[in-house]
Structure 1
Amino acid sequence: MLHSLTSRIVFVGSIVSINLICLSGLLLSASNSMIASFEWNSHKQKITEIVSETLSDLREAQAEERGFLLTTDASFAKDFDDRVASALAKVNLLEQLVQDNPIQHERAQSLQIATNQRIDTLTKQITLARQGRFEEARSRVVLGQGRVDMAIIVQKADEIRQTEQELLIAREATAKAHVSWNRKLVIGGCLIIVILINGLLYVVLNGMRRSVRQIARAMSDFGNGNRTVRVDDHMGCTEFDMLAQGYNTMAARLDAAMQAQEASDDKLLKANAELKRNNEAMELLGEMAHRLQAARTSSELSAIICAFVPRVLPGIPGALYTHNHINNQLERIAQWGTPPVGCDSLLPNACWALRLGQSHSVSAPGGDVVCQHVASDVNAYHCEPLFASGEVVGLLYLQSNVEEENRFRLVALVENIASALVNQNLQKDLREQTIHDPLTGLYNRRYMEETLNTELSMASKNNTTLGLIMADLDHFKHINDEFGHDAGDMVLRTIANEIQNSFRSNDIVCRYGGEEFLIITTSHPLDTLIPRVENLRNTLSKLDLYYNGQPLGKTTMSFGIAMWDKSLSTDTSAIIRKADTALYQAKKNGRDRIVIG
């Protein structure tokens, strides 16, 4: 049985030997036309495949680049270079395949230029990302030029494919015309041969029409969106079998390319959604950071943390601890979520995150060693140490697993909170420096004046007791002159310590200036205040002070006591003047004594 169209025609020619030479020439021409049509179709299929695969490579390269920019995950950039190289190779091959067609060649060159420009843009952006400059790379993506470039590339690719489709249709029409023309010549030249081969030609042409209709219908259905349609590649004719196989191969590759494109688009949509969520988180973090920098007290900082952290990390309860350098403990200043989580305070060595100097988490029971400060019924938690200049400033405790998509938010959150804690500590240190005397550690004159004014107002309003003690070291100039100012500073620090120890914590002890001290007390009436001051005077007079092995001699102090009452003004100068007058009288009466003003 003959399966080739050419074989069938040769068989008819062998039957009609009289017109063999004439018919063989005509039939050879028809055969060549059909073969040329097959070659043109294969050429078109190859061009269409190259264009589609080039677009697929560009989209996958873009998806890998966008995924890397959005997630900073290096695995997204793994296949970027291979996709770029593949796209360049295919667009260069396309330019070579269409050189015989000036219009298509010009379009291929235009597509080649647009592809090179797009690849150059993608390469620059991913190079910035690989250098760690993610924000700069993302800002370039947000401009939207990539979407415009890809639209131009898709348009140029569609023009090439459409032209190839039109050329194929025209060439098929030409092939059909050639067949019809040759058939007419055969019929007109030899009626006998027509009669002999009429039956065979009918069968052949009918099979051809059926095969062409099947292929054309399949291509039409595919173009209308039915990507599953295929052609039976056993049509009883070798040439149409080859054409059907070529179509099936092309359809399969186009289907695979479109599936890859859809997967790439889905990945891009997910990345865009993640970017949107991160942008919302960044806005919240920006608002929180702005408020944290303006916070002045721990209660304000705690309120800001409790308001914003549950919004940045929704559904995750937690607590914030700040490091107290005095007792070397971490104290809880904020807590969010229900029920309350975390303990009130903990030692640094009770947390593995603080021991290791890095984040520590337990995702499931038995998954890792558990920190001592975590309750026994907690199955999952995350500890994040807060550092500044290499020192611990706090601890962020989250009583839940922190998923990978929240890692970016957590890092930004930790940086903002650590910066706020450092800022607040600096403010505390600065305030301490402004209200304390640097030599003795006592409150300075400025703080005394502010506090005395407040206490006088309270005493006047509540009709309570307020006492003011002015004290001055006797013969202090002699110590400075004979032993030097360093010795004098040592004496002042010692005296200041003794005075501080002689009064209660709610009494205000200040260095008034030079060797003068002033004590504000609201907890002693005059009858109990005098014995306390007398005990202090006796203690000071019994001190044996040495400097560099040399005795500094006897140290005494004179005191002037003034009690505020309704007869005095609430102006601070009145009671200070009263106490200063009493001190002057104590000096005049021989020093080392107490005088009541």
Structure 2
Amino acid sequence: MKGQDMTGGELLTEFKKLREQVSELKRLKAPYQQTEEEVRESLAYLENVFENSPDVIGVVDKQGKFIKVNKMTTQVFGYTYDALKGKPSLDLYADKNEYDKMLKKLRHDGHVQRYVIDMKTKKGKIIPFEVSIIKLKNNKGNVIGSVCIARDISDIKEALTSIKAKNEQLETEINERRRAEEAAEQASAKLQAMVYEYSQRNREASLLNKMGEFLQACLTPEEAHPIIARYASELFPGSSGGLFMLNSSENMVEIVSSWGEPLWGERMFPPKDCWAIRRGRPHLVEDLGKEVVCQHLLPPKEDSYFCLPLMAQGAILGMVHLQSCQTMVQPKDDFPQGMPTLGQQRQLAITFTEHIALALSNLKLRETLRHMAIRDPLTGLFNRRYLEETVEREIHRVNRKGTKMGVMMLDLDHFKGFNDCYGHEAGDVLLRALGSYLKQSVRADDMPCRYGGEEFTLIMPEISFEIALDRAETIREGVKHLQIQHHGQRLTDVTISIGVAIYPDHGDSWEATLKAADEALYKAKISGRNKVVAAGQNEYLGSEVTSICQGVTDSP
């Protein structure tokens, strides 16, 4: 055997090589384990949202048979999970003809939105639902099933029936009062009051629907804040108000938008200063002299106010604050009976707050998922996946404009030795510091990315070769002077090597340009590190660096 022919020294050398390979495999495996854990956490969160939704949610296959339902589905229809699994969805619909019409609309439009249809429970009870359906497709675009979300609208139908009955009763009363000359004026006044109330409810519902449409189209919470303020000013014309949100540290509540007259009270305060946030329920104060007043409004004025917590999934997001304005209570053309008080608008304020809490929660979740998908969790820079998805778009833009695009490959010098000397925690501190520095040192259109390990990539659209080299040298020099603290020590003599290439000068594709920048980086490394090297050139910029283990001094 081959091993029997080796000397003792040769066997020892082979053993050392094998041990180094095992260590390298462990190092490469670590980030993948972290990514798998993050994916599992995201899936667990989404599964929790699905399972605990207040709406009925079911997933069916191409044959229309259930493959997954949430808890609300079993509660509403009276079936167990096992009984529903594999059951045709048609069995839950009361009217087959209406069911066929809905499927025809789904096939024609590709989706069904808010379709009203009757469904039946296991015991045969008929319940009206508002149904929305979207198709599920695989990565080839083929339909593999659909997702159905249904909401019980029994209360709405009962309310409409009640309104219809009241309208009929009103008509009867009006006809009766018309026969009585003495009661004519009273009947007319009552009718006017009811019409006014009905018009106000219609107006409020219309404004809430319009606001909801805009909020659904928003991409970020910041985009939604002024929209909320704009519709709040119309819904509560006799009041001023503000939208307050918890900051990222959740230790302060800050105003993000306002409407009406200037608010009396703090624009930033700790959550404990608001009773609505502390109690998790609306706090209406109509008599400041007799009721408990929030600390963020001291000293109190003479006006009444209303604080409503923004809550989603049991978590506080912020607070809506409304306060009456004595200078705005005179009747307007739209309000012949005078501006409504905060007490009269209590239910509207609660409904308004519930609408925006759900919208802001969804935006926050969408933003979180988007950030997780495109950002490196350690440095906060774009990740390699986002880089590869986006760079082709930048290439097309450069080609269309006839400009150039700079590509930098950056690598921390002696990073492995740094980890060996100070540990991986210090290495993470160094990577985060470099990520923060790059974000502060680039233009708005530039794309700093963590390419992998201690390697970083910087994409610079519409830049010349000379300016790209100048910026690379500025970054290299700036890294040398970073003040990085770790456990009371200052890490110094941290340096980077940089390779610079320009598209299309150094490559007719993204891959070729990246390779040219990587080769330039390699030249910077083998020539002593702490340098900037341009693709296709042998001239090195910068100076050599001292040993990385000389880079720690005690903090002053």
Task: Tell me the TM-score normalised to structure 1 length.
Answer: 0.46
Which of the two has greater helix per residue?
A: 1
Which of the two has greater strand per residue?
A: 2
Higher relative contact order (CA 8 A, sep 6+): 1
